[in-house]
């Protein structure tokens, strides 16, 4: 499998290239966003690893241009900027995953393995499960024609569930994707937020979209409950 890494930090690029080659991947590298875009357009890659802040063209913009051109190669954004808005910006640009620097090579390799297992097919800009719809870019949610107001954290929990319909997601997986890997608070915060989401998207409509799988986690019914 072939991976393109675009990062202007020589040490990071060398470490990522070494780590991925150790996994058996063939790795191309670039230190410039414009060149990275050209490489991605001219070659077939199984995944792209893009730094957020690049000379020539930012990683998110590079990703967005590929998506507009119909290229759905899995993309992982690396960034030194940490924050919900930065992560949301990367995902709204079409990225599949987001990893903050400094990062563990073990985690990066695991994220890449997960990405290359996914088919590179177009994903909808508005997520839907039956009549439950979520627009990540506009940050809006509807049940049928009724718009539902969620807090940013509740929205993030629902979005994560809707990006994995039918899959059982553990509390730990939700914590790591909606909060972060360093969160050391009470993991029951996931249960609290899921309950709050249910009270808004399910109960008023007589639905049961978000299912509890006892001792395992939560699952969103693909048809919206």
**Residues 10 and 104 reside in one and the same domain:** yes
Place of tokens 């992560």: 87
| Higher per-residue confidence, 167 vs 90 | 167
Note the pLDDT of residue 83: 66
10 Å CB burial of residue 124 (0-12, 13-18, 19+) is exposed
Q: Identify the CATH number of the domain in which residue 213 sits.
A: 1.10.10.10
pTM of the model: 0.55
Tell me the pLDDT tens digit for each residue of 22-62: 888 889 999 999 999 999 999 888 899 999 889 989 999 99
What's the CA gap between 20 and 46, in Å, rounded? 13
- Among 10-14, 78-82, 122-126, top mean pLDDT goes to 10-14
- What percent of the chain has pLDDT above 70? 92
Report residue 47 as tokens. Answer: 């995944």
Note the pLDDT of residue 99: 87
pLDDT of residue 121 exceeding 60, the answer is no
Of 116, 139, 160, the last residue of a domain is 116
Strands 217-220 and 210-213: what pairing? antiparallel
Categorize the per-residue pLDDT at 153 as very low, low, confident or very high, splitting at 50, 70 and 90: confident
Residue 121 lies in a domain: no
Whether the Cβ atoms of residue 78 and residue 99 lie closer than 8 Å to each other: yes
First to last CA, the chain: 38
Note the pLDDT of residue 183: 59
10 Å CB burial of residue 197 (0-12, 13-18, 19+) is buried
Q: What is the mean pLDDT of residues 109-135?
A: 80
Q: What is the mean pLDDT of residues 165-173?
A: 89
Residue 94 lies in a domain: yes
Note the pLDDT of residue 115: 84
Range of the domain at 67: 2-116
What's the CA gap between 16 and 26, in Å, rounded? 12
Note the pLDDT of residue 33: 94
pLDDT of residue 119 exceeding 80, the answer is no
- What percent of the chain has pLDDT above 90? 44
**Residues 164 and 95 reside in one and the same domain:** no
**Residues 54 and 134 reside in one and the same domain:** no
**Residues 212 and 133 reside in one and the same domain:** yes
Q: How far is CA 166 from CA 97, 200, 207, 220, in A?
A: 20, 20, 16, 6
pLDDT of residue 181 exceeding 60, the answer is no
């Amino acid at each position: 499998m072939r991976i393109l890494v675009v990062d202007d930090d020589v040490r990071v690029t060398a470490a990522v290239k070494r780590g991925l080659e150790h996994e058996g991947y063939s790795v191309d590298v670039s230190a410039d966003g414009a060149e990275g875009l050209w490489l991605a357009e001219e070659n077939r890659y199984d995944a792209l690893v893009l730094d957020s802040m690049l000379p020539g063209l930012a990683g998110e913009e590079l990703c967005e241009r590929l998506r507009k051109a119909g290229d759905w190669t899995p993309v992982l954004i690396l960034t030194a900027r940490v924050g919900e808005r930065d992560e949301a910006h990367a995902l709204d640009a079409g990225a599949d995953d987001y990893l903050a620097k400094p990062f563990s090579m073990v985690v990066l390799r695991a994220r890449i393995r997960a990405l290359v297992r996914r088919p590179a097919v177009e994903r909808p800009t508005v997520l839907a499960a039956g009549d439950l719809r979520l627009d990540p870019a506009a940050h809006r949610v509807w049940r049928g024609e009724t718009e539902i107001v969620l807090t940013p954290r509740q929205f993030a929990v629902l979005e994560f569930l809707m990006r994995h319909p039918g899959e059982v997601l553990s509390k730990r997986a939700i914590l790591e994707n909606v909060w972060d890997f360093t969160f050391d608070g009470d993991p029951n915060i996931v249960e609290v937020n899921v309950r709050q989401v249910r009270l808004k998207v399910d109960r008023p409509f007589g639905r049961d979209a978000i299912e509890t799988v006892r001792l395992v986690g939560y699952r969103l019914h693909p048809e919206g409950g």
